Chains A and B, each alone.
Chain A
Amino acid sequence: MLLEVRDLHVEFHTRDGVAKAVNGVNYSVAEGETLAVLGESGSGKSVTAQAIMGILDMPPGKIRGGEIFFRDRDLLKLKPEERRRIRGQEMAMIFQDALSSLNPVLSVGQQLGEMFVVHRGMSRGDAKVKAIELMDRVRIPAARQRVGDFPHQFSGGMRQRIMIAMAMALEPSLIIADEPTTALDVTVQAQVMDLLAELQRELNMGLILITHDLGVVADVADRIAVMYAGRIVETSPVHEIYKAPAHPYTKGLLRSIPRLDQKGQELYAVKGLPPNLLHIPPGCAFHPRCPMAQAVCRTDVPPLYTVDEERRSACHFWKETLDER
């Protein structure tokens, strides 16, 4: 296994108290595999990713427990310098807002080339050649002329391509893409997503695709992990989950996707608000919003039940959920 997260706990210490952002997350990614991590904002999906990358702001963040195995090393036990060498070379991250994530005062060529200068010890001239190659590879037109341009001179889609090029630069074995297309126009979203999927296949990388958009996931992901209140509530191969979700929350998310064959009907939305991480409800965190909630849901935290060999669900009533259509 390329990456394995085991029982990860992350907290944030804020003025108003301790926010439990991640409460025992388990997931794994194999080489060449795409795992989609799905959830509302506040579900802990980005925090988990930042913990894997080692870019969590600490303080206020604090990793309370768990292990992150990457190529059989526990990242949380490595020295800061060892972790730094892994970042960029062996794992890389693509952020949501490319405009603010790229340095406004450095040219894109400098920012791309920096990877080679720092990690490979290349000269600036060689690094620039590499930067142009990368820009060609993510299909930025006239790369040679534009290598000296600054981020604000590119369109949103082109900027996100540059972010992708930067992540791919040293051919890492794991890429974490945090909502890579959310900030883009719908027409550009598909192009960028296709590019990402294509490069992933070519380089046989593991990809963690963080998103709140189920529609994006269907085409590119192999497996899905659904997160709620800092926990995994369901994991499944991608096609099964669309056919028959095993958790009421997943079900609600699927029903909230607009569909052509349901034109004219009112769009469904999961009722209620995401939980307050300072006061996570006892028992199953989803119970206040769950249409199937029973007394047991208010008291007992559901474990990850085994649905079948490849599927898990953290619902006391996963069977009923599966059966109910």
Chain B
Amino acid sequence: MGRYVIRRLLQMIPVFFGTTLLIFLMVYVMGDPIAGLCGDRQCDPATAAQLRAEFGLDKSVWHQYLSYMGNIFTGDFGTAFNGQKVTELMATAFPITIRLTVVAIVFEIVIGISLGVVTGLRRGRPVDTGVLILTLVVIAVPTFVTGLLLQLLLGVEWGIIKPSVSSEAPLDELIVPGLVLASVSLAYVTRLTRTSIAENARADYVRTAVAKGLPRRRVVVRHLLRNSLIPVVTFIGTDVGALMGGAIVTERIFNIHGVGYQLYQGILRQNSQTVVGFVTVLVLVFLAANLIVDLLYAVLDPRIRYA
């Protein structure tokens, strides 16, 4: 088990550097890192040259990447376009996005798994067909359309929610945005659970459990569910990273000042330090989530634990 964790950690190192380097190259090579630093107008040549020297932009890309990474490991993420430290932006943005992601994950677990179990046990019945069609529609309608429609209906037409979330983003205002963020994954969780339940329901060990004379409830909860949820749990785990990175659309629709909003601002104003900084943290979150999923997998499935 210990060796397994260490091996996974070692495998993550090249992925971390590869991913951050890729983003770094995209931002630095393709954009102009100092373009946003002189406010909305162009920098004059002298200032530009000075800024380039100051940020080390006259050095090679590799050099820049390494020194940037070095700074990051000392906790220095650089300065945002408005003069604030990037770490300060993160301190306000991440709690909001984490709250939003938690809401989304709760929706995935509660609604997604329940629907999946119900439909998986009733394959081919009307409730199964109905839910399946619904999940297809949810998957097919892009998140930004779902979000806009819900905002239009619940926020503007019926006035049930505020169409845009206030800057502190309290939990109750994040319920509908969280549902929007979760929507596509929610549909996948439902389908995945359904497939997994239906597949495992035909497994030999379930037949054994029935032959042992266990009550149906025990057969389903203790034998069927436990095995069927292994892939679902791993999916939801990996989804944490994807949701945080994908929150950019939801945050834009509902005007939530989270990670996505800051990134969007950073990109619009071409502030590379903001962008690379936030993306680096998101990549770390993604990798951490994957590691936790792997460990969870081992906890849930003894065949891997002792392999």
Contact = CB atoms under 8 A, between A and B. Distances in A.
A210 interface: no
Contacts of A119: 213
Contacts of A89: 213
Most chain B CB within a 10 A radius of its CB, from A89, A101, A107? A101
Interface string A83-126: 01111110011010100111111110000001100110000000
B303 A95 contact: no
Interface stretch (B42-50, B79-87, B204-212, B249-257): B204-212
A105 B208 contact: no
B207 A88 contact: no
Given A150-B302, A150-B306, A152-B303, A103 B211 contact: no
A153 interface: yes
Interface residues of B, number: 24
Given A100-B204, A104-B227, A84 B209 contact: no
Interface string A57-70: 10000000000000
Given A118-B218, A150-B303, A87 B207 contact: no
Given A95-B208, A103-B205, A105-B226, A152 B302 contact: yes
B207 A95 contact: yes
A173 B203 CA distance: 27
B302 to A, nearest CB: 4
Contacts of A103: 205, 208-209, 223, 226-227
A93 B211 contact: yes
Contact of A118 (B215, B226, B300, B306): B215
A129 interface: no
Q: Is the interface of B mostly helix, strand, loop or mixed?
A: helix
A152 B304 CA distance: 10
Contacts, number: 76
A295 B211 CA distance: 45
B25 to A, nearest CB: 44
A166 interface: yes
A88 B212 contact: yes
B214 interface: yes
A142 B203 CA distance: 30
A255 B219 CA distance: 44
A175 to B, nearest CB: 11
Given A101-B204, A150-B302, A87 B218 contact: no
A118 B227 contact: no
B104 to A, nearest CB: 28
Interface string B213-234: 1110010001100110010000
Query: What are the 7 tightest A-B residue pairs by CB atom distance, in nearest-first order?
Result: A88-B213, A87-B213, A100-B204, A103-B205, A150-B302, A101-B204, A88-B212
Given A100-B204, A115-B212, 14 more contacts: A87-B213, A88-B212, A88-B213, A95-B207, A101-B204, A101-B205, A103-B205, A103-B209, A104-B303, A106-B222, A118-B212, A118-B215, A119-B213, A150-B302
16 contacts: A53-B211, A87-B210, A95-B207, A97-B204, A101-B205, A101-B208, A103-B223, A103-B227, A104-B301, A104-B303, A105-B227, A105-B302, A114-B214, A114-B222, A118-B215, A150-B303
